[in-house]
Chain A
Amino acid sequence: MSVKKVNSEQPKNFEFNEKFKSIAEEILKKYPKKNKKSAVMPFLYLAQKQNNNWIPLAAIKYISKYLSMPYISVYEVATFYSMFNLSPVGKYFIQVCTTTPCLIRGADKIVKVCKKKISEKENQISKNGECSWTEVECLGACVNAPMMQINSDYYEDLDEKSTAKIIDSIFKDKILESGSYKGRKNTSPVDTKIINGSEHA
């Protein structure tokens, strides 16, 4: 991973629309007036939500003026967190976890499928423009490794087959349901044994 690339094509203007503006004002109320810059992260998140899941530079400027902060400070925050995208991502944005537990359980195979099916490089939008993928650090679902996040949903207990199936469903714009692909309920044990009448791992 390197410093996030800022997209070369940028919209000229950005402003919160009415709905987001009212949410923003609500967020501002949570902080003391002199500390309104505390709202920078929720604001960046709002901007990303409004602008197809990525933050244009115009939004960084807009937010820094909104919160009376230097541009560079907002930019610092936006580049620090991997959840903020500074260039366009697909309508379906896949984040594959490749941190140790997932990697041990075969995350590299999932990455291979993504490379084959979506795009050769990370953060490249697929040919049909629907989807893009990236490697990320731990998403906190190690029990169900390997896993990936598509937009805001977790797809867990994956293997090459199930990943390919999910990506195919994305290309048809009818995405499969999230959750475990080994039929587990949440984080319940994979193999259950019945000991003395009750279920045990």
Chain B
Amino acid sequence: MPKININGKEIEFEPGMTILQACEIAGAEIPRFCYHERLSIAGNCRMCLVEMDKSRKPIASCAMPAAEGMNIKTNTEMVEKARKGVMEFLLANHPLDCPVCDQGGECDLQDQSLYYGVDKSRFSENKRFVSEKYMGPLIKTQMTRCIHCTRCVRFATEVAGVPEIGAIGRGENMEITTYLEKSMESELSGNVIDLCPVGALTSKPYAFSARPWELKKTESIDVLDAVGSNIRVDTYGWEVKRILPRLNEEINEEWISDKTRYSCDGLLKQRLDTPYIKKNNKLIKSSWDEALDVITKKLNETENSLIAGHIGDLVSLETTLAFKKFFELLGSKNLEFREKKFYINSEDKMNYLFNSSINGIEKSDLILLVGSNPRHEATILNARIRKAFRNNKTPIFSVGNPGDQTYEYKIIGDNTQTIKDIIEDKHEFNRIFNTAKKPLIIIGESALELNSGGFIFEELKNFLYQKKLISEKWNALNILIQNASTVGALDFKIQNKDKNNFEFFDNIKNNKFKLLYLLNSDNLKFEKNDEFIIYQGSHGDRGAEIADVVLPSAAYTEENGLYQNLEGRVQECRKASYPAGEALESWKVLNQLTNVYKNRNLFDSFNTLRNEALEKIVNFESLNKLPKFKEPSKKINNNFENENVNINPIDYYFSNSISRASKVMSECRDIKLKYQKSGTNN
């Protein structure tokens, strides 16, 4: 490897690195505004100036490629003077309104002016003023503060794939704006707030609500989709003030979706803070004792086989296991976790995982989407597909039309016959597929919901296995699961093992159950008849509306819990706040109920429950790691039916009870619906 001398220290660097990167290896910190590891190099802030031998002028280290034998100095008088000069120019037009700026305390400009700022300004002219720009309900702008680093512009074009932000005008009059001040049409738009090194782009919902040093920071994970993005939850007392991304190279890099970031105001609204009992068709506030008594009475009255339970989308591994144990205690097997009838074979763990792993997307050389819309089903994962498309020019194909995915793809068919042709090696696409070394097939829930969902899955798996594409080295089979609770529920064998495995849905449709226990479940669609419904959850949403007894429990930020993401990675979601009012942690509710019902505990402590849960996870390696590989079992034969592959639209901003309670999410949804209705693409 080539060598470079930085501040008299000789270090090795990888060819292709910039001087700034080499300096980082050497431990010399370089101030910067425009440079960002994940974006293209702009080189326009000039803050990263360093001194290079044989160059009379200081050089911008972020844009200069490192070369063998260079002699770089980062701590000389010349460097400091140069940086001070740059800083003075940056501050010439910066308003210095830090006391009323939301970025205060976590501002790059503030921090760096501490080292390079001059205490007096020599700029006696008027500072420029730029009017506020509308960028949608999520981003608050104060463009006078902008220092034109263009990180937001590059993020929108490169990572988000929606080139809607740009710099208009020139020189001193340059302004950052969206085209004609429209809101940004991206599910990743919130990330520009983290990228902005000053207070020009800040969070609109969080505006003026707290200072960063007042907040308690808890490292946790997101459960609003199955990706399991790493987040940091900032709380002030009980309130979750904001949610920020946490770096995890294997999952979300440093981005999170807007739903993850902005649903947090839903945690303050529509909360169930006390048990409710339905009397005269009205939910009346009551006490825990009363509510548990009513349930116990009803449980004793009802025949075991007529009791059913449904696990919702946000339930942790521990609570899922506790719920299963509770139903074992009741002697009922009628448990379900799916919200729609989609085919799943829980025999092998690989049957319900994104086996290639999210990092694997970048290694892949061909991607085939089968009935899935990753942009809405797993936004962060889609950002990776876009990254692969941008960096490696990975060709992407789709069966079914998922709409705009922020990258180019080719639709090779829209019916199941296409898939059958591919399996039988008869399709044109096979020629391209056979040349790929690391192809990747992503099967969406919409494909598995089809009548021939079983056929598609089993035959595609068999097809890949025959081609030796399912092995420890490379596993091309990927299922795109949408809910955070699904993988865990499948591991715990919640699924009823009957032939078509849709027995639960048939029974609920035919009104066979007399008592239904909804565990945080709001998305199950069915007609309520004379069932007695118990709803346990955090929000007064669809489930609580139809319930006869409501048991309040904690939301995901208010209890500890393990979750398995769509890759099968077990991650810990940590308690950042405490449950609202009289609400209890979900597993405690089940323990209390068992206490009243059977006069004993369901389990001794949370720790025993967690240990048991960890033991039951299939192919478990360790926390935050991918599961072990096991050879697949025999395929199951299924019927084929030729039908259209329609991709079910997802109400992206309204997909779970927390987002539905969020005012910000409903604003985003309104704007999106308006945009769809008018049908114009201006």
Contact = CB atoms under 8 A, between A and B. Distances in A.
Contact of B167 (A1, A2, A71, A76): A76
B173 A70 contact: no
A150 to B, nearest CB: 24
Contacts of B157: 70
A79 B165 contact: no
Interface in B132-185: 157, 163-170, 173, 175, 178-180
Candidate in B157, B168, B170, B682 with the most chain A CB atoms within 10 angstroms: B168
A96 B439 CA distance: 63
Contacts of B168: 3, 75-76, 79-80
Interface in A61-75: 61, 70-73, 75
Candidate in B166, B175, B178 with the most chain A CB atoms within 10 angstroms: B166
Contacts of A75: 166, 168, 179-180
A4 interface: yes
B169 A3 contact: yes
B169 A4 contact: yes
Interface residues of A, number: 15
A57 B168 CA distance: 14
A2 B180 contact: no
B129 to A, nearest CB: 10
A73 B170 contact: no
Contacts of B163: 70, 72-73
* B interface secondary structure, majority: mixed
Contact of A72 (B173, B175, B179): B179
Contacts of A4: 169
Contact of B166 (A2, A61, A73): A73
Nearest to B164: A72
Nearest to A64: B179
A56 B173 CA distance: 21
Given A57-B180, A73-B163, A80 B169 contact: yes
Contacts, number: 39
Contacts of B175: 3
Nearest to A60: B179
A119 B646 CA distance: 62
A120 to B, nearest CB: 22
Candidate in A4, A6, A75 with the most chain B CB atoms within 10 angstroms: A75
Interface in B478-525: none
Contacts of A6: 180
Given A57-B180, A61-B682, A71-B179, A76 B166 contact: yes
A2 B179 CA distance: 18
A125 to B, nearest CB: 23
B173 A1 contact: yes
Contacts of A70: 157, 163-164, 166, 179
B132 to A, nearest CB: 14
Interface string A156-177: 0000000000000000000000
A110 to B, nearest CB: 24
Contacts of A80: 168-170
Contacts of B166: 70, 72-73, 75-76
A109 to B, nearest CB: 25
Interface of B: 157, 163-170, 173, 175, 178-180, 682
Closest 4 CB pairs of A and B: A72-B166, A70-B163, A3-B169, A79-B168
13 contacts: A2-B169, A2-B173, A3-B168, A3-B173, A70-B164, A70-B166, A72-B164, A72-B178, A72-B179, A79-B169, A79-B170, A80-B168, A80-B169
